[in-house]
Structure 1
Amino acid sequence: MPEVLITVGGRQFEVACQDGEEHFLRSAAKTLDAEAAALVGQIGRMPEARMLLMAGLMLADKTAALEDQLRVAEERAVVAERVATNARAHPERVEVPVIPAIVTDTFAEIAARAEALADRLDEGLAARLEERQEA
């Protein structure tokens, strides 16, 4: 079992941990040291046990707040999942007219104009053909 030397609040401690967990221990010690440093900065030097207790309590308070936030987020996720499941099970039917009336009226008018132009062109072509045949 490896022994790791950590520093918390300016004091060194030798702590044993499982093989391969040294990194996690150092990370946890760094977090605890940050809290202890804040305490020492505010209050000044204090007995080791009190410093560790206070730093631990501050971390426990932060952890409790994060756990509350996580619980609320998980509850919101459950509600969102229920809403999504319900929406998939009972999709809302939305009806939209395929083509609005104004569009069909406009297309009918354009079609009538195009037919009138085509008729005029046919008449003009027919007249020219007759003129050519007579000539």
Structure 2
Amino acid sequence: MAELRITIGGRDFDVACQEGEEQYLKAAAAMLDNEAQALSVQLGRIPEARMLLMAGLMLADKAAGAEDNVRVLSARVEELERQLAVARSNPVKIEVPVVPPAVTETLAEIAARAEALADRVEEAVSA
């Protein structure tokens, strides 16, 4: 077991945790300390047990709010996944218009005539 000294609300505590869990414990202690510091600013010095209780309740409230958000977002993800599955099972057909061969031939004929006219104009201008 690893032993750590953490500070919460300006008070030091010696705690133990499993090997490799030190970073998680430090992060949790920092969160609790942030709440305890906010309480100290608002209420001044309060008894240790009350400070820890109130800080824990504030964190629990935040965790409950986060859990509610997770539930809402999970439901939204499920809905979007369902819509995606429906969309994949019913693909939309997109038709790309194709230029009919007759139009292509007509445009080629018009271009040839325009080039012939341009040649005639050049010959007339040169002469």
**How does the TM-score come out when normalised to structure 1?**
0.75
> Identity across aligned pairs (percent)?
54
User: Partners of 2:16 and 2:94 in 1: how far apart?
Assistant: 65
SS in structure 1 opposite 2:80?
helix
Structure 1 equivalent of residue 123 of structure 2: none
For residues 98-117 of structure 1, the aligned pairs below 5 Å read: 98-99=98-99, 108-115=106-113
Change (3 A) 1:110 1:11: same
Per-residue CA deviation, residues 4-62 of structure 1 (Å, 9 max, x unaligned), is: 11110001111111112122111111110011000100111101111001100111111
Paired letter, 1:39: L
Please say which structure displays the higher CA radius of gyration.
Answer: 1
Report whether the alignment pairs 1:92 with 2:116: no
Structure 1 equivalent of residue 81 of structure 2: 81
Equivalences, count = 118
Gapped regions of structure 2 (runs ≥ 5): 120-127
Report whether the alignment pairs 1:41 with 2:53: no
For residues 62-73 of structure 1, the aligned pairs below 5 Å read: 62-73=62-73
SS in structure 1 opposite 2:20?
coil
Report whether the alignment pairs 1:10 with 2:25: no
Per-residue CA deviation, residues 68-119 of structure 1 (Å, 9 max, x unaligned), is: 111111111111111111111110123342238xxx758625523515756x
SS in structure 1 opposite 2:5?
strand
User: Partners of 1:60 and 1:99 in 2: how far apart?
Assistant: 66
Gapped regions of structure 1 (runs ≥ 5): 122-135
CA RMSD of aligned residues (A): 2.7
